[in-house]
Chain A
Amino acid sequence: MQPTLNAAVSVTELGVDFGNFKAVNQVSFSVAPGEIFGFLGANGAGKTTTIRVLCGLLIPTRGTVTVAGIPYLSEESADRIKEKVGYMSQKFTLYNDLTVAENLNFTASLRKLERTYYLKRKKELFDFITFDKPESTMVKDLPGGMKQQVSLAASMLHNPEIIFLDEPTAGVTSAAREKFWSLIKSLAKNGKTIFVTSHYMDEVEQCDRIALMRSGELIALDSPKGLKESTFPHPLYELTPKRKIPYSEIEALRSPDYFDSFQAYGLRFHASPRTAQSWNEFLMRYSEDFDSQIIQPTLEDVFIRLVEGQNR
C-alpha cells in the first residue's frame, strides 16, 4: 500500500486501432488512488480494449497512459505495470479442479513471489476475506460467494496498487455481494485503487465515479449522483398501466410528441417528458390509462439515455 501523490491511472487521448477499426478513440481520464472507479459501456464499446491497455497487455496506438506512476511505452514498461495491477474476472480466475491452496500456490509461482512473503500474504488475505474452510477444499466445492472472495485474494497476492474487477459479483448471493462490496470499500479506504466493469447497474451505484464508453469514446464521467442530475435535469416518471395496454398504443407514445425518452421497465414505463407542457398534455389525454409517480432515475436509465441520446 503506497498511495502515490499522482493519479493511479492517467490516460490522455488514448487510441487503439485494430486495422482500420478504431476500437478506442481520444479517450482521456484519470483515476485517483483509493478511488472506486466504474467503467461502463455497451457490448463492443471499447471497455475490454481499454482495460487490456491499462493492465499492460496491449500497447496503445496513440496517446499517453500512465499506470501506478509507470508510463506505458514498451514491453519493458508493460512488465512493470503488470507487477502493480491485479485482475479478477467472474469468468475465469481459479481452477475448479485444484484446491484453494494449489490455486494460490500456482498464482504465487506465476508471480514469482518469494515463499515467506507469499505465506505471509496468504495469511493476511485469508484473514481479510475471513476464509474459514480448509485450504485443501477443492475450488469447485466452494460456494459461489466464497469462490469469488478467494479469487479476489488470488488477484491480490502480489499486493497490487490497482485492482481490476470484471463483473465481479455476477450470479452470487445478495449476502455475498454485500460482503464483497464491503471488502472492496475497505481496500479503497486503505489506498487501493479499484477499477470495476459491470452490467449490474445497481452494483456500480457504489462507485465513487463512473465513466461511460460508447463506440470507443468516453461520453460521460461523473459521480453516480452527478450523472443522474445532469442526464435527467427534469423529473423522470414511472407510468403504471391501469389497464392492459396493447403494444401498438405504447409504440405511439414513443413518438417525440410527449417524451424525450419512453422506455419499458418490465410491465411499467420510465418516461422523461419533453417539457412541462407536453407532460400536462399527456396527463389530459392519458390519465385514465396510467398511474404516474416521479422516481429517482436508476443508473440504467442514465446509461440508456446517454447511449441512445447519442444515437439520434
Chain B
Amino acid sequence: MNHQNLPHPQGVGIAVQDLKKRLGPNQALDGVTLNFQAGLMHGLIGPEGAGKTTLLRTLLQLLKPNSGTILYEDEGKATPFTDLRPSIAYMPQQQSLYADLSIGEHLEFFKELYSIPEAEYQQKSEELLKITRLDKFIDRPAGNLSGGMYKKLGLMCSLLRSPRVLLLDEPTNGVDPISRREFWDLLYRLADQKILIIIATAYLDEAERCAQVHLIESGRTLAEGEPRELLKLEGVPNFDALFIARSKRKEGPHATHT
C-alpha cells in the first residue's frame, strides 16, 4: 500500500481488529480487520450479505461484537466512543424520513432534534440546499421525491450538525447514474473538509472512486488498499475480476456462504 500521497492523520480514525459477530444462524462478521484512516474516503465494497451493514452498525455500537476490538482515535489519540458519538452521522440503507414532511420541514425538524443554533442552521441549511440542488424543491414532501433526491435529503439531514465521521450505507442503491455522480460530487466536497467517510456499497465501479477500498465478502476482508494500486498488484482490469480471483483463492474450509 502506498501512503505517500495520503495526508497526515487528522481527525477521527477507526481501527477494527478481528471482529466477529453472529446474527442468528449467520456469521455476519467472521474476523474482519480493517483500518479506517482519518480524513479519507473509505469504500466498503461487497455483495449483499457480505457483512457491510453489520460492520457499520458495530462501528456505531448499535451492535455488540461477539469478539474482537474497535479502537477509535482522535487526532492520533485513543478516544472513548462515547466522546465521539455526537460527531458521528449515520445514513442507514432504509432512511426513515417522513413522507408527509417537505424538505424544508425535515431540515427544521433535524435542527430541533440536534439543537443546532439558529445562525449556524441558517448558514448550513442554505449551503446544503444549494450543493444538493434541492433548493428548488424545498416545499416538496419527501414522499414525492425521486430515489436520488430522497437519498440526498437523507444525507442533508445527517450533515446538518457538521459531523466529523460519516457512515453511509448503500447511499446510491437504486439511484440513477446522474444522481449517483451528483452524490459523489457532494462526497468530494465533504472529503475536502477532512471528514472520515465510510461508504458501503454493492456497486463495484464505485470502489475506484474512494481513496481506500476494503473488499468484503462473507464477513471477511478479501483485499484492501488504494483502488488502482490494488488492481495493478492483482493484474486484473476491474473489481469484479478481483473479487472473483480472491473468492476463488479463499475457497476451501471457509467456502463462501452468502
Residues of A within 8 A of B (CB): 41-45, 143-144, 167, 170-178, 199-202, 244, 246-247, 250, 263-268, 298, 300, 303-304, 307-308
Contact = CB atoms under 8 A, between A and B. Distances in A.
Contact of B188 (A175, A247, A308): A247
Nearest to B246: A174
Given A174-B47, A174-B243, A263 B181 contact: yes
Given A143-B49, A174-B239, 5 more contacts: A43-B146, A199-B175, A264-B185, A267-B211, A300-B180
A40 to B, nearest CB: 8
Given A43-B146, A173-B256, A174-B244, A199 B184 contact: no
B93 to A, nearest CB: 11
Contacts of A268: 209
A300 B173 contact: no
A202 B240 CA distance: 10
B230 to A, nearest CB: 14
Contacts of B244: 174-175, 178
A247 B192 contact: yes
Contacts of B206: 266
Contacts of A173: 47, 217, 243, 247, 256, 258
Contact of B48 (A171, A202, A266, A267): A171
Interface in B236-258: 238-241, 243-244, 247, 256-258
24 contacts: A41-B176, A43-B179, A144-B48, A170-B173, A173-B47, A173-B247, A177-B240, A178-B240, A199-B176, A200-B203, A202-B204, A247-B189, A247-B192, A263-B181, A264-B185, A264-B188, A265-B209, A266-B208, A266-B210, A267-B41, A268-B209, A298-B205, A303-B177, A304-B178
Contact of B205 (A264, A300, A304): A300
A171 B256 CA distance: 15
Contacts of B34: none
Interface string B114-149: 000000000000000000000000000000001110
B202 interface: yes
Given A43-B175, A244-B192, A266 B243 contact: no
Contacts of A267: 41, 188, 191, 209-211
Most chain B C-beta atoms within 10 Å of own C-beta, residue among A41, A173, A199, A268: A173
A143 B48 CA distance: 9
Nearest to A41: B176
B235 interface: no
Nearest to B148: A43
Nearest to B247: A175
B80 interface: no
A45 B192 CA distance: 33
B7 interface: yes
A109 B204 CA distance: 38
The 8 closest A-B pairs by CB, nearest first: A266-B209, A171-B48, A174-B243, A173-B47, A174-B240, A264-B185, A42-B176, A43-B146
B195 to A, nearest CB: 13
A237 to B, nearest CB: 16
A106 to B, nearest CB: 24
Nearest to B7: A244
B240 A264 contact: no
A45 B239 CA distance: 30
B46 to A, nearest CB: 8
Given A199-B180, A300-B181, A304-B181, A144 B49 contact: yes
Contacts of B179: 42-43
Contacts of B148: 43
Most chain A C-beta atoms within 10 Å of own C-beta, residue among B180, B205, B208, B243: B205
B205 A43 contact: no
B246 to A, nearest CB: 9
A172 B47 contact: yes
Contacts of B205: 200-202, 298, 300
Most chain B C-beta atoms within 10 Å of own C-beta, residue among A144, A199, A200, A246: A199
B118 to A, nearest CB: 26
Interface string B34-59: 00000001000001110000000000
Contacts of B240: 174, 177-178, 202
Interface string B59-81: 00000000000000000000000
Most chain A C-beta atoms within 10 Å of own C-beta, residue among B179, B202, B247: B202
Given A173-B256, A264-B184, A144 B177 contact: no
